[in-house]
């Protein structure tokens, strides 16, 4: 999985429990998933991560946000240790949080399909683990309202200038 930046997650105020998951695809922090079956070969209480589909969204399946500690195994450069350079490879056990109404969390703006706007919503789309923007609230499925968009990060030098700035989109769960 080679990208310039990977998703960054902020657990602002989440009251739900966290669970251990495993996926057969690479994932990033801030992605939204469903809980699948218990995975027997990964130890106790490790669940399969399921990417949302049209059927699962319509059925109103519970949504979890991927929020694993961003500890990069590649410590060869300062740049590669940045949180936005971290992703979860397929087959690795990771943490995701159960979301409840009024929970608040933040994700990178580039992790959202569309342009987030304060007062509008993020929702699930078929086959996408990254949320999408919506101007109006859909009738069913996961729904979170954008309450703040704040700059995060800074520039620094490591032989050359590295731009580590982005916007953090903070949302409050309306429905899960």
CA-based nearest residue to 99, from 155, 55, 61: 61
Q: How far apart are CA 22 and CA 77, in angstroms?
A: 28
Q: Tokens 């079956």 label which residue? A: 37
Confidence of residue 70 (pLDDT cuts 50, 70, 90): confident
pLDDT at 77 over 60: no
- Regarding beta strands 46-50 and 32-38, do their DSSP bridges make them parallel or antiparallel, or are they unpaired? antiparallel
User: For 99-137, what is each residue's pLDDT tens digit?
Assistant: 999 999 999 998 899 999 999 999 998 888 889 999 999
What string of DSSP letters covers 117-146? -TTSEEE--TT-SS-EEESS--SSS-EEEE
Give the torsion through C-alpha atoms of 150, 67, 26, 34, to 10 deg. -110
- Regarding beta strands 46-50 and 18-22, do their DSSP bridges make them parallel or antiparallel, or are they unpaired? parallel
Task: Tell me what pLDDT residue 152 has.
Answer: 78
- Regarding beta strands 64-66 and 94-98, do their DSSP bridges make them parallel or antiparallel, or are they unpaired? antiparallel
Consecutive H or E run containing 174: strand 166-175
pLDDT at 145 over 90: yes
Task: Give the pLDDT mean for 32-37.
Answer: 94
Task: Tell me what pLDDT residue 117 has.
Answer: 95
Task: Tell me what pLDDT residue 8 has.
Answer: 83
Q: How far apart are CA 161 and CA 99, in angstroms?
A: 37
Instruction: Give the Å distances, CA to CA, from 37 to 48, 60, 121.
Output: 5, 17, 29
Q: How far apart are CA 73 and CA 121, in angstroms?
A: 34
């Amino acid at each position: 999985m080679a990208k310039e930046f990977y998703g960054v997650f902020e657990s602002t105020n989440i009251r739900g429990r966290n669970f251990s998951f495993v996926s057969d695809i690479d994932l990033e922090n801030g992605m939204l998933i469903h809980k699948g079956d218990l995975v027997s070969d990964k130890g106790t209480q490790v669940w399969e991560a399921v990417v949302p589909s049209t059927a699962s969204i319509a059925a109103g399946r519970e949504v979890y946000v991927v929020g694993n500690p961003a500890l990069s195994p590649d410590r060869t450069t300062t740049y590669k240790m940045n949180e936005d350079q971290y992703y979860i490879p397929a087959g690795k056990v990771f943490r995701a949080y159960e979301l409840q109404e009024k929970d608040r969390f933040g994700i990178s703006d580039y992790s959202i399909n569309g342009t987030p706007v304060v007062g509008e919503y993020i929702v699930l789309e078929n086959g996408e683990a990254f949320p999408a923007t919506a101007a109006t609230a859909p009738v069913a499925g996961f729904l979170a309202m954008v309450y703040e968009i704040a700059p995060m990060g800074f520039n620094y030098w490591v032989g050359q200038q590295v731009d580590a700035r982005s916007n953090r989109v903070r949302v409050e769960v309306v429905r899960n």
